Amino acid sequence: MDNVIRQYHHLRAEIDQQVDRLLTLHSCYLQCQKQCTDCCMNLTVWPVEFFAIAQDLRSAGIKPAFDEQAACGFLKEGLCQIYPFRPLICRTHGLPLVYLDEQDDGPVHCVTFCRKNFAAPEAAAIAFGPDNTLDMDTVNETLARLHLAFCKAGGPIGDGEQGRMALAHLVEHLL
């Protein structure tokens, strides 16, 4: 399982590099700032990601509190308590992300981003493509393969819908 967790960390580092590139490329169109929590919510993640985050928090000596009433229970005064170890989806919020969308006349690549971003009139002229977006289907496929490898190596399958785990249960695993 440790090898799969290392592969997850490698994927996380790759995503961070792509995110940094997109942040630099689109900086003049991005309105999301520190303490913007519009995209924050309580999530479920694959067990490989859940246990990698739990392991990272333990290694760092971080024991976050979880507020059941917050949009995301790991928010405290508008800041994420698990920020360095947050899930992949949290790392990509707000950026131009591309997904394959099944339409009646066949699959179409769709780009999505935070409604606050790319609001300037000149942003309408941006031609989104592989060089200025993040392909989330590829990210999710890689993460799903890591999940299967994690389970095959003896890791828990998960207890939620589709074998996913509520991130809210991290606190219990850190006790």
The tokens for 140 are 């999710």
Q: What is the pTM of this model?
A: 0.90
SS3 for 62-97 is CCCCCCCCCCCCCEECCEECCHHHCCHHHHHCCCCE
Q: What span, in angstroms and rounded, lies between the C-alpha atoms of 144 and 30?
A: 29
Give percent above pLDDT 70 in the chain.
97
Inter-residue contact 37 to 70 (CB < 8 Å): no
Q: What span, in angstroms and rounded, lies between the C-alpha atoms of 98 and 109?
A: 6
pLDDT digits over 113-172, tens only? Answer: 999 999 999 999 999 999 999 999 999 999 999 999 999 998 877 766 678 999 999 998
List all residues 6 or more positions away from 172 whose beta carbon is below 8 Å from its beta carbon: none
Give percent above pLDDT 90 in the chain.
74
Which residues on neighbouring strands pair with residue 75, listed in sequence order? 80
